[in-house]
């Protein structure tokens, strides 16, 4: 059996929009809310912050408006230990905004990001630093939905064959139906995902995009190009599909405060494991452990479990992983 592929160790660049976020505090439908809490929300910066929590050098690459919300966003991401040196300030476009609307059936998100500073990003962002010294570039399917220039940016990043790219590329499908013209997302996202080195996708998300009868292993046939396809099956399990076959690790059972951000946390934990040259089962476990951090908070970024908990849980025998892990994770 050939050795599993790993990206080279080194800095990770996470490229994409981060917005200011308003949510009712305490959580309740917006129509009934007495006050709102201001935070920040962005899939790619979430990954960067959790990578930094794991000790992986992380850089966030984006643009914000020359406004108080933009300064708040930049400061919040930097406070998590992420390098924001290359985030641009756009004097002509605003920082994007989202509103969370909790309800009995889940949390709906309302976006106010059309014409935002980040929507004007383009392919030139890939030239020079911080990409010149990166080991890994992390992208999501949100960015190509923001504008024609953002789609050109992601397309250019993925156009060169993997062997010719100076860094590995990970791509979280992260389908946001509200951002796409009807009927366009399935073809575009499949083409982009198939050119990445590492792909993250939810099974339900893949079924919505590419067919309700898709299975975990069927996704490997749909996306033959990536070196690793990670399929997240909700609260049940996550599977990494490689040239060596499939590796599945059950998810941890935990009380869910809010699921938003858990997928980003999982991706960061898994990538941190790969960059530390962990075997796939341990990288998947680290993804699950990091996801717990997001599930336990109302914001997108929560504190990691204690280092001693992480180290012990990574060492558990398979039979004890989910049973014991569910009761011993503290955050």
Q: Cβ of 108: how many Cβ atoms within 10 Å?
A: 13
DSSP 184: T
DSSP 83: B
Q: Which of 67, 264, 300, 309 is catalytic?
A: 264
In angstroms, the CA 159 to CA 169 distance is 11
Task: With a cut of 90, say whether residue 63 has pLDDT above it.
Answer: yes
Evaluate whether 116 touches 94 at the Cβ level (below 8 Å): yes
In angstroms, the CA 173 to CA 202 distance is 8
* Distant-in-sequence, close-in-space partners of 156: CB < 8 Å, separation ≥ 6: 123, 126
Task: With a cut of 50, say whether residue 257 has pLDDT above it.
Answer: yes
Looking at residue 91, what is its pLDDT?
Answer: 97
Q: Rounded to the nearest 10 degrees, what angle do helices 280-295 and 262-275 cross at? A: 150
Percent of the chain with pLDDT over 90: 73
Evaluate whether 251 touches 323 at the Cβ level (below 8 Å): no
List, for residues 86-144, the tens digit of each pLDDT value. 999 999 999 999 998 988 887 888 899 999 999 999 999 999 889 999 999 999 999 99
Q: Which residues pair with 40 in a beta bridge?
A: 20
What is the pTM for the complete model shown? 0.93
In angstroms, the CA 202 to CA 144 distance is 18
Please tell me whether residue 78 adopts helix, strand or coil conformation.
Answer: helix
Q: Cβ of 103: how many Cβ atoms within 10 Å?
A: 12
Task: With a cut of 50, say whether residue 328 has pLDDT above it.
Answer: no
- Mean of pLDDT values over 206-219: 94
List, for residues 175-195, the tens digit of each pLDDT value. 999 899 999 999 999 999 999
Min mean pLDDT across 115-119, 222-226, 230-234 is at: 230-234
Looking at residue 331, what is its pLDDT?
Answer: 35
DSSP 213: T
Evaluate whether 172 touches 136 at the Cβ level (below 8 Å): no
Closest by CA to 7, choosing from 224, 239, 270, is 270
- Mean of pLDDT values over 147-158: 98
In the residue annotation, 67 being an active-site residue is answered as no
Looking at residue 235, what is its pLDDT?
Answer: 80
- Dihedral sign for Cα 243, 164, 146, 271, please: positive
DSSP 298: S
Looking at residue 1, what is its pLDDT?
Answer: 47
- At 72, give phi and psi (nearest 5°): -65, -45
In angstroms, the CA 32 to CA 197 distance is 45
List, for residues 294-309, the tens digit of each pLDDT value. 666 556 677 788 888 8
Residues belonging to the chain: 331
Please name the residue that has the structure tokens 């790619």.
44
H or E stretch covering 24: strand 19-24
- Structure token digits, residue 37: 């809490």
Evaluate whether 94 touches 115 at the Cβ level (below 8 Å): yes
Looking at residue 261, what is its pLDDT?
Answer: 66
- The alpha-helical segments, DSSP class H, found in the chain are 43-53, 68-79, 148-158, 185-193, 203-210, 216-222, 262-275, 280-295, 307-315, 318-328
Between strands 198-202 and 168-172, the pairing is parallel
Q: Which residues pair with 89 in a beta bridge?
A: 64
In angstroms, the CA 240 to CA 194 distance is 15
Side-chain-side CA neighbours of 312 within 13 Å: the count stands at: 13
């Amino acid at each position: 059996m050939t050795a599993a592929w790993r990206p080279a160790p080194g800095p990770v660049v996470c490229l994409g929009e981060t917005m200011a976020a308003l949510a009712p505090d305490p959580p309740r439908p917006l129509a009934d809310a007495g006050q709102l809490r201001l935070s920040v929300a962005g899939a790619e910066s979430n990954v960067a912050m959790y990578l930094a929590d794991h000790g992986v050098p992380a850089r966030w690459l984006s643009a914000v408006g020359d406004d108080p919300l933009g300064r708040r966003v930049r400061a919040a991401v930097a406070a998590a230990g992420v390098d924001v040196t290359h985030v641009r300030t756009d004097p002509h476009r605003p920082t994007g905004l989202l509103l969370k609307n909790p309800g009995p059936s889940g949390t709906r998100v309302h976006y106010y990001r059309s014409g935002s500073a980040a929507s004007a990003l383009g392919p030139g962002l890939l030239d020079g630093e911080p990409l010149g010294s990166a080991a890994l570039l992390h992208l999501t399917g949100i960015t190509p939905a923001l504008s024609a220039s953002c789609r050109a940016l992601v397309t250019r990043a993925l156009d060169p064959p993997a062997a010719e790219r100076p860094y590995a590329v990970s791509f979280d499908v992260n389908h946001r139906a509200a951002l796409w013209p009807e009927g366009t997302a399935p073809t575009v996202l499949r083409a982009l995902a198939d050119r990445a080195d590492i792909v993250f996708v939810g099974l339900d998300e893949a079924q919505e995009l590419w067919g309700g009868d898709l299975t975990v292993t069927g996704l490997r046939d749909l996306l033959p190009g990536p070196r690793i396809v990670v399929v997240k099956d909700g609260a049940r399990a996550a599977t990494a599909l490689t040239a060596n076959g499939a590796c599945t690790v059950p998810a941890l059972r935990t009380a869910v405060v809010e699921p938003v951000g858990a997928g980003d946390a999982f991706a960061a934990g898994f990538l941190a494991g790969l960059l530390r040259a962990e075997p796939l089962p341990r990288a998947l476990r680290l993804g699950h452990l990091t996801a717990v951090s997001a599930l336990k908070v109302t914001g997108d970024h929560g504190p990691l479990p204690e280092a001693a908990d992480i180290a012990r849980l990574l060492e558990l025998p398979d039979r004890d992983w989910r049973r014991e892990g569910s009761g011993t994770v503290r955050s």
